[in-house]
Structures are given as C-alpha cells and as structure tokens.
Structure 1
Amino acid sequence: MSRQKISIITPCFNEEANIEQCVARVRSVMETELGEFDYEHIISDNASTDGSREILRAVARQDPRVKVAINSKNVGPFRNMAVGLRAATGDLVVPMIPADLQDPPEVIPELVAALGPDRDVVYGVRKNRRESFVMRAARDSYYRLVRAAGGAASPPPHAGEFLIARRSVIDSVIPALGSYPYIRGLVAQATERYGTVEYEWGQREHGKSRNSIPDLIDQALNGLVSTARAPIRVALFLGVFIAAAGMLYGLVSLLLFAFGLVHADPGIPTLIVAVTFFGGLQMLFLGLIGEYVVSIQAEVRPSPQAVQVEKLNL
C-alpha cells in the first residue's frame, strides 16, 4: 500500500526573517512525528520585496519537498493561499501554516490523530490568543455573529485556515474558490463531519504582521457575506415589520386625531426622530445589500487569478 501524502501550504510576504525556521520546523515534525507520511511544503510568495525570494530559491534547491510559487503581484492573503491550494497534490491538506509560525507546525500530528473515519476535517481552534482584550472581544463577537448567521455551514468559533482536510473536501472546495476565497467557510460548507483540536496561538518572533485593521475588517466582511445568508433575510423581514408598524402607527394617530381623542398638534421632534430612525435603518440595509452585491459582482466578473513568474519543484 502506498504511503499517504500531506500537503502543507505556507502563504508568504516579506518573511525573510521567518522562512528558514518555518521550513525547518515543518521538516522536523514531518520527519519525526509523522514519518509514515510523505509530504510537500508549498510556499506561495506574494511578490515579496525583501530577500524572501532568494531564501526560497535556496531552500527549494536543498529540499525537493519544498515547492515554491512566486506571484507576479501581491494578490492578498486569501488569494495567495488559494494558489498553494490549487497546487497541492496530497491525500491530506493543511491550507495554512503561516510563515511567522503563530499557528505552530507541532500541532499537525494532533490534527492527523483526530482525523478518524467519521471525520473529513479537523480544525485547529485557537484557545488562547496573546493579543489585547479589545481584539479578543472583537474576534469573539465576530465568530459568534458568523456562527449565528451561517448555522452549521460555518467554521467553529476561533478556527482559521489552520486545519487538515481530506482530498475529497479540497477537490470540492477548489472549483468554488472564486476571486476572493474564504477558505475556512468553503470547507465548512463542504462537510459537517469535523473535529477540533485546541492549541495555543503563538506570537511572532520576528518581523511585524502586514495585516492592518482595514485588512481585517475587509476579511471579516468577506467571511460574513461568503458564508451567511441569514443577514439579508433578517433585513428583509425586519424591514417589512418596521414598515408595517409605521403604517399602523400612522393609521392609529390619524384615527385619534379624527375623533378628537388627541388634541396636541403633531410635534416636530417626532418627525425628526422618525426621519432619522428610518433614514439610518435604510442606510444600514443598503450597506448590507451593497456587501452582497459586491460579492456577487466579484463572482460574475472575477479578477484574473495570480500569475506565477517562477515555480520551483512544482
């Protein structure tokens, strides 16, 4: 019987201080704790401008299991991850081991061990994030919102792309990647047969994360509209309810004035509150609908996928 193969994907952008350590730790885990598996370590470089490319060329020459794709331009972290996902050939796939090693490769054996016959996916769940209270609270609220809006077709709270999935799941996800893939959400939509492994989320030892607050907000909105259909339905039903309540209120007010039960003149404050409330509600729903429209447009008129200017061992 042939040995199973694990594909491990590392998206990379300006990580010259971390690449060699990342490759070495993945190699150590795979050769010691998972020696019964073959593996490939696919590093997708997002047009780095530091010395990352030279380091990648060197490690690829030293180890044919390290496979490198270098993009012609920076296409963002999720599209860059999709480059590696499309190149993966393993029976089991880990969509992301970050170059900064905040999701540690040493957890991969636990993911493999938890992948029983009744499970297609095992998610790594970050049980302890070493970040500020505000960021932890924001992330927790977001995950709860996505879970509530998407139901069973949503990833577990605090799970990311650090997971392991069977080939059949990846084969179903790849055609649906689209122009802005939310990979963990697509995996959750592909199967509900999953397990979880909790682990400590580490800190970067070298360099600084390139994910800014606007980037995180953009990724969060993409994740919400990619996996959840409930918000647009809530907006529809709430809009109908509020419109009906407004009409009923107007009718009741008209009858009260008509029968002389209310003698006060209509107040300007009431009008201002009503206009402000309904105007704000309309803007909220228009913004929500706009997010869906943008998502639809991206799929109907997708942007070109990343072009690799160089491939090593692929």
Structure 2
Amino acid sequence: MPKLTVVVPAYNESEGLREFHARLAAVLDRLDLDTEVLYVDDGSRDDTWAVMCALRDADARVSTLRLSRNFGKELALTAGLDHVDADAAVVIDADLQDPPELIPTFVRHWREGYDVVYGTRASRAGETGFKKMTASGFYRVMERLSSTPIPRDTGDFRLISRRALAALGQVRERQRFMKGLFTWVGFRQVAVVYHRDPRHAGETKWNYWKLWNFAIDGITSFSSAPLKLATYIGLAASLVAFGFALWVLGKALLFGDPVRGYPSLMVVVLFLGGLQLMALGVIGEYLGRLYVESKQRPLYLVDEYHPSVG
C-alpha cells in the first residue's frame, strides 16, 4: 500500500495541537493509504514538545522530531521533509488555517499523475486588510521579478510526490524560500483553490518585521532584479546630474549668472548619496547571503527523533 507522510512544523503551538491532530487523524482514517504524521518542534518555548510526545504515545502513526533550537519555519520544514520515507508527503501548518479535510483532494490529484498539488487561497479569514494587501502585493511582485513562476496566494500547504521530494532534497541552500523551491523543482503541478480559515488557537509568529525580512529572502533567492534596478537608478541619476551640470555651465557662460543655490546643492548631494547607500544596501543583501552560504554550516541540528511504531 502506498505510504503518505504528513509533515507538521510547529513553534509554540501547544494550545491548538490536540485539536489539529484530532481533525487530521479523522481525515487519515478515511484514506486507503499507509499514513504517518511527522511533527517537527522548531525549538518551541512552551510545552509543544510535551504535547507532541503525548500524541505519539496515543497514536502509533505519529513521529516526532525536535530541533536543537529555533531555526525558523523554512529550515524546520526542510528537516521534516528530509526525514520523510514515503511515496508522498503533505506539508501543513498546525494552526488549522489550512483545512486537513482538503488532503483527500490532494491525494486524488496525486493519483492522477501530479507530482505537486498545492493549495491556493481564495480568501484569508481572520487577517487584517493591511496584511491581505501586503501579501497580495508580495506575490505579484515575485511574479514579475522571478524567472521561476511562483503561484499567487499560495503557501506551504501542498502534497509532494516521492520524485519531487528527491529533487528538493538535492537543494541545500541555506537562505531558503520554500514556496519558490517547491515550484523550482518543476514536474507536473496543479492548484486546488480553497478558503483559508482563521487561526484556531494561539497567536501568529509572523509580525510585520519578520514578514518584511521573509519577503527580502524570497526576492533575493529567486531574482537579481534589485541589483539591476540599482544599476538603472544609478545610471538615470548620473544622466540627470550630467544634464543639470551642462545647463548650469551653459547658463553661466551665456548669461554670466553666478553659481548659487546652496540649499538646492545640498538636496542634490543628499539625494545622490541616498541612492548610493541604497545601491550598497542591495549589494550588501546579496553579499551577506553569499557569506552565509560560504560557511557551509548544517541547515539544522536535531535534538531528538522518535519514529512512529505503526
């Protein structure tokens, strides 16, 4: 019988983990597959690990993996997928915003021959209008900047076949943007549209600062457009400055006007200095990522791993 592993990365999700597992187990019971659930504790500070261990004791299908510290969701997800030994894997968060009841639909498309079946959000309940607007803007910016076609309004909730998992396992970059990597591996992919529910319990771990840094990671991982943009802005500023210098020189030679305007001169100097610092900042973002990659540190470290006994 084909085997399906559900990978659930979690950080401080103890409040809703039991309810999540109850809904997930009810779905898995109806599947004609050999199923397993792999919970990944990304260095939680609450009793998430204790709840995971209790779920493992109560359900023989449950495996638990604990990282040595908080490495972030992208690396926790990578750790979970690295420990999958199945014909397919489903990635889902533990906050119940993505409904486990959609997994049978994913499985049906997988059996039709698709290697990646991803959930696309038609709506995002429980989120502020500002967050919805910024999320929508981010996906559309990525669509324009990246040569890899990253689906709009699509998170990590998806099913991945064995050969897509094997391809993904070959990608060991440290600055990981999993939404892009899932698409980058290629193979046959299909979307399943659904309505996202509000968080069941607890609070989101993603504040706007973390989301901003996450967006930068995504853009720099899959596009060199910011570097090109800095070049074009610098070139345009240089042409404007050169034209302005010719105008001032011609005016002084033809009309004998003295060169004056200290405030305007300061504005121009500060404007050009700001452009230069911005360009250096863009270069620094890419250079910093090269520095991290060059150190070749492990992506994550495992504290404990307990495979299922089912």
Query: What is the TM-score of this pair, normalised by structure 2?
Result: 0.90
Structure 2 Cα separation of the partners of residues 171 and 262 of structure 1: 74
Give the AA of the match of 1:218: N
User: Bigger shift: 188-197 or 215-224?
Assistant: 188-197
Aligned to 1:306: 300
- Measure how far apart 1:115 and its partner are: 4.2
Structure 2 Cα separation of the partners of residues 148 and 24 of structure 1: 40
- Measure how far apart 1:137 and its partner are: 1.0
Equivalent residue in structure 1 for 2:142, among 143, 146, 150: 146
- Measure how far apart 1:167 and its partner are: 2.1
| 1:141-182 Cα deviation digits (max 9, x unpaired) | 11111111104x042111111122222222222232422321
| 1:105-163 Cα deviation digits (max 9, x unpaired) | 11222233344767432221122112111111111111111111104x04211111112
Which runs of 5 or more residues in structure 1 are unaligned? none
| 1:55-82 Cα deviation digits (max 9, x unpaired) | 2222223333211101121112111111
| 1:177-205 Cα deviation digits (max 9, x unpaired) | 42232111112222174221111111122
In the alignment, does 2:155 pair up with 1:189?
Answer: no
Shift in alpha-carbon separation, 1:56–1:269, aligned structure 2, 3 A: same
In the alignment, does 2:214 pair up with 1:219?
Answer: yes
Q: How many residue pairs were aligned?
A: 307
Q: 2:175 touches 2:221 (CA, 8 Å); kept in 1?
A: no
Structure 1 Cα separation of the partners of residues 225 and 89 of structure 2: 30
Tell me the secondary structure at the aligned position of residue 18 of structure 1. Answer: helix
Aligned to 2:9: 11
Equivalent residue in structure 1 for 2:257, among 260, 263, 273: 263
Within a 5 Å distance, the mapping from 1:159-308 to structure 2 comes to 159-191=154-186, 193-258=188-253, 260-261=254-255, 263=257, 265-308=259-302
| Percent identity between the two aligned chains | 28
Q: 2:252 touches 2:259 (CA, 8 Å); kept in 1?
A: no
Aligned to 2:23: 25
Aligned to 2:62: 66
Q: 1:122 touches 1:196 (CA, 8 Å); kept in 2?
A: yes
Aligned to 1:44: 40
Give the AA of the match of 1:269: P
| 1:8-49 Cα deviation digits (max 9, x unpaired) | 1111122222222222222221221xx232222111012223
Give the AA of the match of 1:293: L
Structure 1 Cα separation of the partners of residues 38 and 189 of structure 2: 24
Query: What is the TM-score of this pair, normalised by structure 1?
Result: 0.89
Tell me the secondary structure at the aligned position of residue 37 of structure 2. Answer: strand
Give the AA of the match of 2:300: A
Which runs of 5 or more residues in structure 2 are unaligned? none
Structure 2 Cα separation of the partners of residues 111 and 245 of structure 1: 55
Give the AA of the match of 1:286: L
- Measure how far apart 1:262 and its partner are: 7.0
